[in-house]
Amino acid sequence: MTTESRLQKLLEKGEFVVTSECGPPRGVNPDIIRKKGELLKDTVDAVNVTDNQTSVVRMSSISSCILLKQLGMDPIMQMVTRDRNQIAIQSDIIGAAAHGINNILCLSGDHQHFGDHPKAKNVYDLDSVQLIQTVRHMRDEGKFLGGDDLDGVPKLFIGAAANPFADPFEVRVPRLAKKIAAGVEFIQTQCIYNLDKFEKWMEGVRERGLHKKVHILAGVTPFKSVGMAKYMKNRVPGMDVPDAMVERMQSVEKEKQPEEGITICVETIKRLKEIDGVHGIHIMAIEWEEKVPEIAERAGLLPRPKL
């Protein structure tokens, strides 16, 4: 199904796309998300809005998406299955579609253990694969999971995440295949630092022809400092940061480290652009959205195409 998603239309035209992400505020001020939106507006084709990422309570993804939509952007509503059962999930899907949101990213979400409410109950009525199935079912069959007909279907372009660096490595291509079998249409990957491993994963993807069945957007996150590189390497599960990259950050003086982080990110994007089957870049500049235009510019991703 072709939706009103700008991201989908560009991908189907064969354009190499650029997405980024916005973390919603920890309070009621809508200007915070608007400001982040303005920083990204002319640099990216669509922007993800995280859903209580790292299990820290923030403004809801759906309401932040509405604020970005009002700026004329094409938001990608991230939805995790941690906090909602199938009733709430379906309700939010149709609510988002009613507000003109065109994209959804289906995730299981970080465990609440990592967040600011570690004593909370988790839901996990569905997992991420089943969430993909749910959106497809509502959109393409026009039915709720319970079997009743929907009065108008949510026309959402359906995405999911893939982490080529988590263990076991052998399961990572089959896991992508499962998401494709469930009906996913685009994939945004975990931050890529270990390019050799990513290329190995992409080889597996191509061997099975999966790159022709789904649009893969390669994820990148610039380091602000050597401290951040070490944190990502040692403390973030499923993240693969090669020693050489940490050493490179270490080798420059502190004031120059942000610039070095950006340079590494730009070099990474240039290499990713050359990989067969990669259809776009997803730039996750964590609380550093103002650097996305510079990264995109230096990586030769600008100007963004018009529809």
Partner 1 sequence: MVIGEGKPIEEVLSMISDKKKILVVGCRGCVTVCSAGGEKEVSILSSAIRLAREKEGNPIEIREETIERQCDNEYVEELRGYIDEYDAVLSMACGVGVQFLAERYRKIPIYPALNTTFIGGTLEQGVWVERCQACGNCILDKTGGICPVARCSKSLMNGPCGGSSNGKCEINPEIDCVWQLIYDRLKELGTLEIFEEVVPIKDWSTSRDGGPRRIDREDLKL
Binding site for partner 1 (CB under 8 A): 82, 86, 108-111, 113-114, 122, 124-130, 133-134, 145, 161-163, 165-168, 170-171, 174-175, 177-178, 181-182, 190, 237-238
Residue 48, CB-side half-sphere exposure with 13 Å CA sphere = 31
As measured in angstroms, the least distance from the Cβ of 83 to partner 1 is 12
**What distance in Å separates the CA atoms of residue 170 and residue 253, rounded to the nearest whole number?**
39
Residue 161 Cβ, how far from partner 1 at the closest point, in Å? 7
CB of 66: closest distance to partner 1 in angstroms?
A: 28
Residues 6+ apart with CB under 8 A from 284: 20, 21, 48, 191, 219, 220, 221
Cα distance between residue 55 and residue 183, in whole Å: 26
Q: How many CB atoms lie within 10 A of CB 224?
A: 18
3-class SS of residue 205: helix
Min dist CB 230 to partner 1, Å, is: 16
Which residue number, 40 or 180, has a Cβ lying nearer to partner 1? 180
Cα-Cα-Cα-Cα dihedral sign, residues 83, 71, 11, 302: negative
Residue 227 or 238: which CB sits closer to partner 1?
A: 238
Nearest CA among 181, 171, 300, 217 for reference residue 48:
217
Q: Identify the bridge partners of residue 134 per DSSP, sorted by sequence position.
A: none
Q: Least separation, in Å, of the C-beta of 298 and partner 1?
A: 28
CB 101 within 8 A of CB 140: no
State in angstroms the smallest separation of the CB of 179 from partner 1. 9
Dihedral sign (CA 99, 105, 25, 268): negative
Residue closer to partner 1 (CB basis): 69 or 172: 172
For partner 1, the closer CB: 165 or 193 = 165
Q: 103 - beta bridge partners?
A: 76, 157
DSSP-assigned beta bridge partners for residue 143: 149
Q: Which two tokens stand for residue 246?
A: 């940490």
Q: Which is nearer to partner 1, 237 or 300 (CB)?
A: 237
CB of 237 to partner 1, least distance (A): 4
Of the two residues 178 and 271, which places its CB atom closer to partner 1 in the complex? 178
201 by DSSP, 3-state: which?
helix
Q: Which CB sits closer to partner 1, 99 or 206? A: 206
Distance, in Å, from the CA atom of 176 to the CA atom of 245, rounded to the nearest integer, reads 27
The SS3 assignment for 74 reads: coil
| Nearest distance in Å: CB 23, partner 1 | 18
| Calculated CA dihedral for residues 128, 132, 138, 139, nearest 10 degrees | 150
